[in-house]
Homo-oligomer: A and B are copies of this chain.
Amino acid sequence: MISEVRHKAALAQEAAATMNRLSTEQKNTALLHMADALLTEQTAIIEANGLDLARGREQGTSPSLLDRLALNGERIEAIAEGLRQIVALPDPVGELLEKFDRPNGLKVEKIRVPLGVIGMIYEARPNVTVDAAGLCLKTGNCVVLRGGSAAIESNRKIVEVLKNALAATDMPAEAIQLIEDSDRASVNEMLKLNGLLDVVIPRGGASLIRNVVENATVPVIETGAGVCHTFIDGSANYGMAEEIAFNAKVQRPSVCNSMETLIVHEAFAERHLAALAGRFVEAGVELRGDEKSRRLVEGAKPATEEDYRTEYNDYILNIRIVDSLEDALDHIRHYGTKHSECIVTEDAANAERFVQEVDAAAVYHNASTRFTDGFEFGFGAEIGISTQKLHARGPMGLPALTSTKFRIYGNGQIRG
């Protein structure tokens, strides 16, 4: 018997053939229908979500996870508004990227086309179900959704609502598929569905992403892990450096673009580190330091090799003192995950060298690493932040969900 995963991916692949013929207007109409339907059906959605929440509470799920899972009228309104924002974004499909004539008379065009069918693998956040569907459909893709089993009732109802909404539009309802099988095996089957899935995008914690990267034979866009650094150079403006470092750690420690290690030039450290460290401690940040910094920062624990490699996503910060820009670059090369890195300095040559040499998706001079984000970059919604170098790197806007195609027009050319 054919599995649920294979069956639904095949339905999506079939629908994909008609998706790339839809105009921008047809796609936007469908997205607006979806947004309206979420509001009309919000009572039913909140009811289904209640079942997930009750089961979660029974199973002793942590309050923070329950909070991520919970839906109410306000949150559904925000999710619907997300779809309307996607409507407002320019449609990348059909964009002419290159056009050239060859000496033999062939006319070649390179245009943007949908990727085809995108597999989304994520955790128990029902908002991702709608966001991902909206972004994929806007770019003419079909989507196979596999959310965490803790949100299954919510996702089932949401996808039912979205598919019903599509029935009144030109977009095939089969463009959205939800995998309901909660067994981990259904994820692993998706990962090997070459020919039916064109790409898999994981969104979630480190272990979810590791499983996808390690087991997928379908091409993957890896998103996630960030061990981000802020380097305060000897010449940094003290006030600016303090604000940037504090913001990078404390404004939202749980996200991938927050700072995990503060690197400080010794000239700066001697005059200002104790004060800055005090501010972190006041904000509830646990400090771990190298030998030099522990002489200046009272109460800091020793930082281990392992600490320097860890994405805490929490109120914990490593501090390291260096005596040159080179040492800071070395540390970042050695321990960084190539996500977001920052130098705070008034020295233009040091800034340029840092920005040039650091190999990361986003490199900052005098600004917080927290800006690595699709909304902050002005891309509108984002499908995630790519931490790989292939296809897309950093915050991914709609073009990251497209591929290209060459169209070649001739008048009988053959190869000699």
Contact = CB atoms under 8 A, between A and B. Distances in A.
Nearest to A244: B414
A384 interface: no
A116 B359 contact: yes
A17 B391 contact: no
A262 to B, nearest CB: 15
A243 B412 contact: yes
Interface in A323-382: 333, 355-357, 359-368, 370-372, 376-378
A408 B362 contact: yes
Contacts of A391: 390-391
Name the residue among A243, A359, A365 with the largest chain B CB count within 10 angstroms. Answer: A359
Given A367-B409, A368-B413, A368-B414, 14 more contacts: A116-B389, A199-B389, A213-B217, A219-B388, A219-B389, A237-B412, A355-B409, A363-B407, A366-B410, A370-B414, A372-B406, A377-B406, A390-B391, A393-B403
22 contacts: A16-B359, A17-B359, A102-B376, A219-B219, A219-B388, A219-B390, A237-B412, A240-B412, A244-B414, A247-B414, A247-B415, A248-B414, A359-B405, A361-B405, A367-B410, A371-B408, A371-B415, A390-B390, A393-B403, A393-B404, A393-B405, A394-B404
A367 B403 CA distance: 23
A235 interface: no
A108 interface: yes
Contacts of A69: none
B217 A214 contact: yes
A409 B365 CA distance: 5
A112 to B, nearest CB: 11
Contacts of A389: 115-116, 198-199, 219, 403
Contacts of A363: 405-408
B221 A390 contact: yes
A198 B359 CA distance: 12
A370 B414 CA distance: 8
A158 interface: no
Interface in A197-221: 198-199, 213-214, 217, 219-221
Contacts of A368: 413-415
Nearest to A388: B219
Given A221-B390, A403-B393, A113 B359 contact: yes
Contacts of A394: 404-406
Contacts of A366: 409-413
A268 B230 CA distance: 69
A20 B359 contact: yes
Name the residue among A115, A370, A403, A415 with the largest chain B CB count within 10 angstroms. Answer: A415
Contacts of A221: 390
Contacts of A333: 17
Interface string A226-249: 000000000001001001101110
A21 interface: yes
A283 interface: no
Nearest to A362: B406
Contacts of A116: 359, 389
A227 B247 CA distance: 54
A194 B210 CA distance: 11
Contact of A213 (B16, B194, B214, B404): B194
A409 B354 CA distance: 12
Nearest to A100: B378
A251 interface: yes
A219 B368 CA distance: 29
